Amino acid sequence: MTALLKSESPHVTPAKSKGPKFKRNIGIMAHIDAGKTTVTERVLFLAQKIHKTGEVHDGAATMDFLEEEQKRGITIQSAATTCDWNGYTINIIDTPGHVDFTAEVERSLRVLDGAIAVFDAKNGVEAQSETVWRQADRYGVPRICFINKMDKIGANFDFAVQTMRDRLGARPVPIQMPVGAEKDFAGFIDLIRMKFVTFPADGDGRAYYEQEIPEEHLDEAKLRRHDMLEVAAENDEELLDLFVEDAVIPEKMVMSALRKATLSLDACPVLAGSALKHKGVRFVLDAVIDLLPSPVEITEIEGHDPATDETITRKPTVDEPVSLMAFKTIAEPTGDLTFVRVYSGKLEKGTKLLNPRTRKTERIGRIVRLHASKREATDMVPAGDIAAIIGLKNTVTGDTLCDDNAPIMLQKMAFPDTVISMSLEPKRSQDRDKLSEIIGRMMREDPTFRAQTNEATGQLVISGMGELHLEVLIHRIEGEFKCMVQTGKPKVAYKQRLRKGLETEARYVRQSGGRGQFAVAHVRFEPVETEDNGFEFVDGIKGGSVPREYIPAVGNGLREFHDGGGNTGFPFINTRATLFDGKSHEVDSSELAFHAAGVLAFRQAVANNTVLLEPVMKVEVRVPEEYLGSVVGDLNSRRGEVSDVDSQGDLRVVRAMVPIAEMFAYSSALRGATQGRGQYSMELAVYRDVPASIGAKVLAGEN
C-alpha cells in the first residue's frame, strides 16, 4: 500500500504560466443541504486558502459570512473566491440551494464556464437540483457531479446516479466506483487509472492511500470501466478502435475523450465522497482541472450592436475590445460593489466604459478580487476572469460594460416572477426616508425583490420569491440597517390577464380656462403570448392621425397601467396593445394628454374583462410511509394535484402542484402531521387562472 501525502494530482501537470488556459470559472450548485458550502470549504482548505475548516452547522463557514446565513446555517447569497490548485487558478462561486434565492444561482451560472453539481447520496436528485440543472442547461454550462455524503445512513450511489437519468434526463458517467456505503464507506476505485483509493482515519483530505483493486471488487470495476469507456469512445475514433480491439487504452486518451464529452454537454462525469469527513474532495478539484473548460475554450460570446441590433461576437482574448457583464451588485455606503465577468479585452483601472442600456459611460475606479468578505485590490483583470468594481453609478445586474468605440450588448438574464407580497411600513414615521433608501438598496442587490406603492391604499408593498426570502430581507432591514418595521400578513402575488380582445376609444379632454388638454386614442387590445410574458406596444398609426411625437407617450401610459395593475395592484401579463387611430389638437394636445389617454384606454379595456392568475408551486414532500395518507389528503384539501408518489428507502416522496395561496405556514402543518419527520420543498411552476369563486373573494379583499 503506497501513501501519497499532499501530492500533485496523479494526472495533472502543474502549469508553468498563469494565462487564461490555466484558469477555471466554476460554480457549486445543488439542492439545499446537499453540502455545497462544505465542499467549497474543503476546496479552500486543500488549496491552502484557509488553514482551518469552518462548519456550516456551527455557523462558521468561510463563504457564509452574512449574519443571517450564520444564524440559519444556509447559504442566502452567492459568494465568490479564488484559489490555486496544481498551478491552475480557480474562481469559485458558492450558490444557495433554497428556491427562494434561485436568482443567485441564475446570475452566477450566466457568467460561469463550468459547474460542480452536488447531490446527497441518500436523496439523489431533489426538487431544487432539477431547477439548478435546468438553469445550467439554459446557459450551456458543462458539469461534473459529486455524490456527497456517502457515509450517511441510507447512502446509495447507484440510486443517486439513476435519479439523474430519470429526473434530469442527464447522461451521468461514473468515473469512480465507491466501495462500501454508510459507516462502511471505505473509499473508491478510480475507473480511469484502475486503482483503489482509501483515506486515513481522521485525515484532513490531503493524504490518501492507493493500492491495487481487491479481487472481490475487480470484476465489477471492469464492468463499470467498460461502461465509462463506451461513452469516451464516442468522442475519440482512435480510442474507439482500441476499445473494440480490447487493447490497452492510455489514461491521457481516456481523460481527453471524457473532457470532449463533458464540454459538448454529452455526458456528466460522476465522482463520490464525503466532504464533511474530508474524503474525495481533492479528486473533485482534479476533475475540475481535467474536465471543465478554461475561458479560452468557451465559444465566442454573442451579443448585438445597440444601434443596429445586428448580431456581433467577441473572442475570449485580451486583444479584443473590452466587454464585461455585471452579474451581481452589493449596495454599500462607500459605493456599490459590482461583480463582473470579463469576456473580452482587459478591464483596467481608470478607464471609461459604455453601458449600452443607459447610453452613459462609467469610470472604473477601484477593482478588487474577492475571497468571501475579503478583498484584494488589483489594477487589471484580463478576459476570462471574475472580479468586482467599487463605485459604479448606473450599472445594475445584467448590464453590459464595453469599449465606447466597439459597443456590444450581451444577452440579458431572465429572473422568475415574485410569488408573495406583504405591506411594510416603519414603526417610527421619521424612518420613512431611511426605509425608502434601504428598499432602493435592496432592489439594486436583488432582482427578484420588488417594492411599489399600492395606488388604492398608499401602502408600500414588497414582493419576493417566498416567505423565507421576505423574512430574511426584513431581518436584514431591522438587524443590519437598524430600521424597525411592521409588516402585514403575507399575500399571494397575483397577476391578471385580459379575458378577451377588444377595441377602445379613450378621450382625454380637459378645459380649465387657459390652454386645455386634448388627446383621443383608439387602441386594440389582444391577450397574446409575449416573449417575456409582459407587454407589447404596436404603433399602427397610418396617415398621421396621431402626430409621431405623441405615439411613445400613449405607449408609456399603457405600460404604466399594465405594470401597476390598476385598482387591484396586480400587474397584467401577456398583453398586446395596438394604437391604430386617434385625434389631436394643434394647440391643446401634448405628451401629457396622450400619456393620460393611454392610461384611460387600458382602464376602459379591463372593465369586467380580466381573469385573475395565481402562482402554482411544484411541491415535493418526503415522509415516512405511515404518514403518506394524511399528507396526500392534506395536499388534496389545499387544491393540490398529486402527480406521483415514489419510494425511496423507508421514505415516500410525494410530488404535487399546489397554489401558493394554500401553502402559507405549511411547514408547521407538516411538522404536526408527521411528528417532525416530514420535509418539503417547493418552487414556482406556472401561473394559472384562479377559480371564479376564489377570484371574486380576492378582488373583494376577503382573501
Residue partners of 514: CB distance under 8 A and separation at least 6 = none
Compute the distance between CA of residue 100 and CA of residue 127 in angstroms, rounded to an integer: 13
CA distances (Å), origin 559, targets 537, 571, 579, 599, 678? 8, 10, 13, 8, 45
Are 42 and 49 contacting, i.e. CB atoms less than 8 angstroms apart?
no
For residue 229, give the H/E element and its range.
helix 215-233
Q: pTM for the full model?
A: 0.76
pLDDT band at 702 (very low <50, low <70, confident <90, very high): low
Which residue, chain included where needed, has cell 465606447?
404
Residue 624 phi, psi (nearest 5): -60, 150
Q: What average pLDDT does this structure show over 527-543?
A: 83
Per-residue model confidence as pLDDT tens digits over 230-273: 999 998 889 999 989 888 899 999 999 999 999 999 999 999 99
Compute the distance between CA of residue 573 and CA of residue 57 in angstroms, rounded to an integer: 42
pLDDT band at 2 (very low <50, low <70, confident <90, very high): very low
- The predicted structure's pLDDT at residue 406: 93
- The predicted structure's pLDDT at residue 15: 43
> In whole numbers, what is the pLDDT of the chain averaged over residues?
85
Identify any residues that bridge with 525 across adjacent strands, giving them in sequence order.
502, 577
Whether 667 has a pLDDT exceeding 60, the answer reads yes
- Work out the percent of the chain whose per-residue pLDDT is above 70: 89
Compute the distance between CA of residue 686 and CA of residue 613 in angstroms, rounded to an integer: 10
Are 402 and 354 contacting, i.e. CB atoms less than 8 angstroms apart?
yes
- The predicted structure's pLDDT at residue 546: 92
Compute the distance between CA of residue 483 and CA of residue 168 in angstroms, rounded to an integer: 44
User: Do the strands 2-5 and 366-371 form a parallel or antiparallel pair, or are they unpaired?
Assistant: unpaired
Compute the distance between CA of residue 601 and CA of residue 578 in angstroms, rounded to an integer: 11
- The predicted structure's pLDDT at residue 456: 62
Per-residue model confidence as pLDDT tens digits over 184-198: 999 999 999 999 999
Choice between 660 and 372, residue whose per-residue pLDDT is larger? 660
Q: What average pLDDT does this structure show over 387-398?
A: 88
Compute the distance between CA of residue 474 and CA of residue 68 in angstroms, rounded to an integer: 11
Per-residue model confidence as pLDDT tens digits over 466-516: 888 888 889 889 988 899 999 988 888 899 999 999 999 999 998 766 678
Which residue, chain included where needed, has cell 417547493?
682
Per-residue model confidence as pLDDT tens digits over 19-66: 778 889 998 888 877 888 888 888 888 888 776 554 444 444 444 434
540: nearest Cα among 498, 509, 582, 502 = 582
Q: Which three cell numbers stand for residue 53?
A: 475548516
Compute the distance between CA of residue 554 and CA of residue 195 in angstroms, rounded to an integer: 72
In DSSP notation, 495-561 reads EEEESS-EEEEEEEEE--SSS-EEEEEEEEEEE---TTSSEEEEE---TTSS-GGGHHHHHHHHHHH
pLDDT band at 314 (very low <50, low <70, confident <90, very high): very high
